[in-house]
Amino acid sequence: MEIAPSVLAANFVRLEDEIRDVEQNGADLLHQDVMDGHFVPNISFGPPVIKSIRTVTNLPLDVHLMTYNPQDYLDVLESISVQYISFHVEAVPHLDRMIQNIKGRNIKAGIALNPGTPIGAIEEVLPLLDYVLIMSVNPGFGGQKFITYTLDKVRRLKDFIINKELSTLIEIDGGVNKDNARLLKNAGADILVAGSSVFNQPDRKDAIESLKV
Catalytic residue numbers read 33, 173
Beta strands 108-113 and 131-135 are: parallel
Q: Report the DSSP pairing between strands 61-66 and 84-88.
A: parallel
**Dihedral over alpha carbons 201, 203, 207, 208 (to 10 degrees):** 120
Break the chain down into helix, strand, coil percent, rounded to 5.
Answer: 40, 20, 40
* Cα 29 off chain centre by: 9
The helix/strand/coil state of 32 is: strand
Q: Regarding beta strands 61-66 and 191-194, do their DSSP bridges make them parallel or antiparallel, or are they unpaired? A: unpaired
CB 55 within 8 A of CB 34: no
Distance CA 18, CA 28 (A): 15
